[in-house]
Structure 1
Amino acid sequence: MVRIYSINGKIIGKMELPDVFNTEYRPDLIQRAVVAIQSNRRQRYSAYALAGQQTSADYFGRRRGAFRQTINRGISRLPREKLGGGGLGRVRIVPHAVGGRRAHPPKGRDWSKEINNKEYLLALKSAIAATKDEGIVSARGHIITGIRELPLIIEDKFEELNKTKEVIESLNKLGLEKDLERAREKRIRAGKGKMRGRRYKKKKSVLIVVNNDGGILSSARNIPGVDAVRIDDLDVELLAPGTHAGRLTLWTKSAIENIHRLFT
């Protein structure tokens, strides 16, 4: 039996956990599932097939006919732009020319990875079960000193909070204040990633799982490190960011009761 808390942090009841919370911990499958999700989100990229070749340039080496000839003129025999009146312009197309094509451009690659459906569901069950293991949660870096037990379950009124201030107050009363404070810290990333849209490294804090959105999803998303999601949209990456399971998770009572929908 696990305690159910009110939005004020008081115990208002108890409930039994579903069997999914007894699943064996499988970090190998969790890692495979998260990598598959991230890989399938990555888009293919390569050089444009006609890059550097969309030009009028051509090589004129005919012996018969002197129009635009490039032979016997003391210039390199390379494709040149066609100018008016039979003239020749700059060298184009070849890799060593300005504006020419790439010699060996990146080839298009499909980054997606497949995972068996049964493997993914087992990884999801294992990641859910890891949220109640204090050792795994604390090893991930979460501060759980002020928390009485895991998993944390809160009444359904929590889903109706539509103010960020109210959500923070409720989380603090549940003993999550130190972990929220930990997630406020961010640092500048080392390397070139900071020039590519990911300047800061940020920490993950509480994951809020609800059954229905009464305003909680929009009010919780502005808290640093906090993610809020409906039970039907829960996936392994949210439960195990960076392939590391054991994320500190707050469940609403109805989300626990409807967790079976993930596996049907």
Structure 2
Amino acid sequence: MVGVYSALFLYLRDPVSVPVYGPNGEDAGQVVLPDVFRVPVRKDLIRRAFYSEFTARLQPKGRDPMAGKRTSARSIGVNHGVSRVPRIRGSMRAALVNMTRGGRLAHPPRVEKKIHEEINKREKRLATMSALAATSIPELVRERGHRFTAEYLPVVLDSSVLEAVKKASEARSLLEKLGVYDDILRAKTGRRWRAGKGKMRGRRYKQPVSILFIVEDHESPFARAVKGFPGVSVAEPWNVSVLHLAPGGVPGRLTVTTTGALDQLKARFRVDLP
């Protein structure tokens, strides 16, 4: 791996040791973050990978070639004192052209339009690694707008928390002790009505993004307890992507993970760094 990305690994961060917290917020030891958290942050690559994954989910669409053209409208010609647009027979109502009511669209969506931005597999992998490393840099997390008082990032929980914390009230108490619950309050107060027609199309509200929880079991009691918090996302180590780690293509999302998830991330992004 170092040989492939040697040019990108010239400036590596030192190994980072962060505290591990138990179900009640107590100190449960220390853990050294996997080497993937030492990868340099490539904002340009992260943004490109985000657009690639985001556009991959878009539904291709087009228009019927005869849309807006199923009419008997014909122009009545010149010397009538009116414009020469096509008009419905027996009426002066214009039709068919794009500036009339019910007429065709001037530039409708085309089926052959390429809407998915392609990216190489190695670039996508490196972008995910880079976005994961950005979650451990407090400056980038604050720059993204998150609010927290935790000293070390990402916040690491012992895997016993997944079964010990079963209620939302218990999860809230734990997050308050860890110093990250203020970000959930920021997401709650930041929810607002969308401007424009999106309100009529199932997108009534705009919700700020809050904490990302990376756990080894998204069906565990703890994961179920935090899923209802505003702006929260829950992902497993094997499927966490740039969409989770850098929403909008901006790296530095506030992240809470578990010791078991760190082991799986280390196995997924196996790198041998000096």
Which TM-score tier does this pair reach, normalised by the shorter chain? 0.7 to 0.9
Aligned pairs, number: 243
Question: What's the counterpart of residue 66 of structure 1?
Answer: none
Counterpart check, 1:150 vs 2:153: yes
- What's the secondary structure of 1:8's corresponding residue? coil
Question: What's the counterpart of residue 253 of structure 2?
Answer: 247
Q: Is the 8 A contact 1:186 1:200 kept in 2?
A: no
Distance in 2 of aligned mates of 1:201 and 1:212: 28
Rg (Cα) greater in structure: 1
Counterpart check, 1:104 vs 2:106: yes
| Residues 88-110 of structure 1: CA deviation (Å, up to 9, x unaligned) | 99999843798875163414123
Question: What's the counterpart of residue 41 of structure 1?
Answer: 57
Question: What's the counterpart of residue 176 of structure 1?
Answer: 180
Question: What's the counterpart of residue 14 of structure 1?
Answer: 30
Counterpart check, 1:29 vs 2:45: yes
Question: What's the counterpart of residue 139 of structure 1?
Answer: 143
Written as runs of structure 1 = structure 2, the 5 A alignment for 1:85-96 is 94-95=96-97
1:115 CA drift (Å): 0.7
Structure 2 gap ranges (5+): 1-16, 75-83
| Residues 69-96 of structure 1: CA deviation (Å, up to 9, x unaligned) | xxxxxxx9x8989xxxxxx999998437
| Residues 94-149 of structure 1: CA deviation (Å, up to 9, x unaligned) | 4379887516341412311111111111111111111111111111111222x131
Structure 1 gap ranges (5+): 60-75, 82-87
CA RMSD in angstroms, aligned pairs only: 3.1
1:231 CA drift (Å): 1.1
1:6 CA drift (Å): 0.4
Distance in 2 of aligned mates of 1:97 and 1:180: 47
Q: Is the 8 A contact 2:191 2:208 kept in 1?
A: no
Using the size of structure 1 for normalisation, the TM-score is 0.78
Q: Identical aligned pairs, as a percentage?
A: 32
Using the size of structure 2 for normalisation, the TM-score is 0.76
1:31 CA drift (Å): 0.5
Question: What's the counterpart of residue 159 of structure 1?
Answer: 162
Counterpart check, 1:129 vs 2:133: yes
Q: Is the 8 A contact 1:52 1:99 kept in 2?
A: no
Which range moved further: 226-235 or 179-188?
179-188
Counterpart check, 1:114 vs 2:130: no
Which residue identity does 1:125 align to in structure 2? M
